[in-house]
Structure 1
Amino acid sequence: MNTSYWPIHGFSPRHRLATQLKAAWETLLTHLDATTEPKVWKSADAAGQTLWNAYDPITQMAIDHASADELRTWLEELHYRN
């Protein structure tokens, strides 16, 4: 006699709850992160030099691979444009 058991449902209620909680948490974080402030982050080129990137969610304008001076100028222009 074969006594193997294969569950009918693919996921346990605990797994479904964990999945729903994770989705709710990610949605909350997305809403908390929604801001009108420009987002700025740095990157590096192949030689290891620091480059700056930014995105303005209001104007939907971006600048990529800029020097610190170029980024500063871009941010100032954004400020005075609005």
Structure 2
Amino acid sequence: MKIIEVWLQLKSKLQKLVTALSASSELQVWQKSDRYGHIYWRAYNPITGRSACFGSEAEMRIWIEMQYYQEM
């Protein structure tokens, strides 16, 4: 195996390790747009592993509140 191949494999494994170690338990929310320019919202709860997609910010906020109250 060439040194470059070994380095690339090591680099990939280190990146995965850093990502795993820095993963947050906080709810993640982001806004996206499709190829037609329509805006939608994505959310992910790393504690429960649940994710969802919404057509409006209001729908997303309701889902966030439901996630919060389910954890209590």
Whether these two folds match at TM > 0.5 is: yes
Name 1:11's counterpart in structure 2: 2
Per-residue displacement from partner, 1:25-69 (whole Å, max 9, x unpaired)? 313322233221122222213441221011112222211143111
RMSD: 2.2
For normalisation by structure 1, the TM-score amounts to: 0.64
Over the matched positions of the two proteins, sequence identity in percent amounts to 34
Secondary structure, aligned partner of 1:42:
strand
Question: How many aligned positions are there?
Answer: 71
Question: Which consecutive aligned stretches of 4+ in structure 1 deviate over 3 angstroms post-superposition?
Answer: none
TM-score for the superposition, normalised by structure 2 = 0.70
1:20/1:47 Cα in 2 relative to 1: closer, same or farther (>3 Å)? closer
Q: Which one has a bigger Cα radius of gyration?
A: 1
Which ranges of structure 2 fall in alignment gaps of 5 or more residues? none
